[in-house]
Amino acid sequence: MCVRYNEPRSALFPRALRRARFGHPGLSSLAVLSILLAFLALSVSAEIAPASAFETSAKQAILIDEETGAILFEKNADAPFPPASMGMLMTLEVVFDALKTGKVRDDQTIRISEHAWRTGGAPSGGTTMFAELKSEVPIIDLVRGVIVHLAHDAAIALAEGLAGSEKQFATRMNARAKEIGLTGSTFVNPTGYDDVHQQVTARDMARLARHIIDTYPDRYPLFSLPDFTWNDIYQRNKNSLIPANFGVDGLMVGGANEHELGAVASAKRDGRRLILAFYGLGSKAEREKQAKALFNWGFESFGDVRLYAVDEVVGEARVFGGESLYVPLVGKGPIRAYMELASRKGYRARVAYEGPIRAPVKKGLRVGSLQITRNKIPVQSIPLYTARSVAVGGFIQRARDGLIEAIAKLWY
């Protein structure tokens, strides 16, 4: 299998500006059409700074649009760092998944072991919900302890209750991380601390946050709980970004030490939600300042741009053995991109699909995507679907396609 990106050959395909094809029908190859987005120029205020002008003191950072996944800003987004408390987001994902699939219940209790109590509870001196040794705590309260208190005893108890041990739970964490698409992160324990092999990336943490928000909308409001009392001990939510009043309503803060702080945060404004993951800030004040600046810039500098109307053809995919050579591709409804309003410089798009597609082809089949890049960096991928059905062609059509593919194989 070979994945290739090429411009179509106009000598072979007269309507080359709308089409791309290559590859043997028995292989999974990628056909791509490049499209300039120069027609997107709009009249906007010069006061809005272009993306390249924004800077942050964070060592690693990424800001994305929650709805589309569009990347608004990134800096060393794939450079690993220790997650600390932010690693408990992966712990919560595993627990949320178990709750959603019915493997456990909110009111199901977990016994606080001596290991959980001594390693993560009051004797440890770390962040804790002060669960008593050998007490039975409902899963939902342990979840609240993790979210509000960043409680190590709660995280360890959840790991032991769901998997038997921290080590076995870490195996489950990494399996789920792979399923979600976290490609640069490794989890070793449910608390996120004290292991050089436990590393995450800003890109993965933003992807994880988006997954949690989209997959568990009934659980996400837990992140904005202002406080939680357990064992008669009242504690406020340790996420200091929430009461800072610039739109943040959830997820987690953390840091390996007081000079290496970070956060995974989400903010909503005027119906639009952004997600930020960053690390490497020197103080809590700097973390708050940089988070506010990034969110404000993202909300003020970007907006929806309509690229195609409903059922407007974006491109065409090559069909093998069909009554027609190509099938038109459209979006599901109008196609919009979340883009910077002040500048279109550096934006490009291409239609990508695995092909050629074997006939018969059904209408509404998802076969590719409109991939948008900026300065060669991927920023958004929008699904594309077949606009009509294509029936199997006759002998002449199949012979024609076989000949075309044979020539194409020699050509490429």
What is the model's pLDDT at position 39? 39
What is the model's pLDDT at position 400? 63
Q: Choose from 37-41, 55-59, 316-320, 341-345 the range with maximum mean pLDDT.
A: 55-59
Q: Across the chain, what does the average pLDDT equal?
A: 85
State mean pLDDT over 336-354: 86
Cα angle, residue 158 at apex, residues 176 and 204 outer, rounded to 5°: 30
State mean pLDDT over 278-296: 97
Report residue 140 as tokens. 């939902």
Confidence class for position 165, pLDDT limits 50, 70, 90? very high
How far is the C-alpha of 393 from the C-alpha of 186, rounded, in Å? 49
What is the model's pLDDT at position 12? 23
Smallest Cα–Cα separation from 345: which of 74, 33, 35, 38? 38
* Whole-structure pTM value: 0.81
Q: Mean pLDDT lowest for which of 234-243, 249-258, 347-356, 394-403?
A: 394-403
70: Cβ–Cβ under 8 A, 6 or more apart, which residues? Answer: 64, 302, 337, 338, 339, 372, 379, 380
Smallest Cα–Cα separation from 89: which of 15, 228, 185? 185
What is the model's pLDDT at position 45? 30
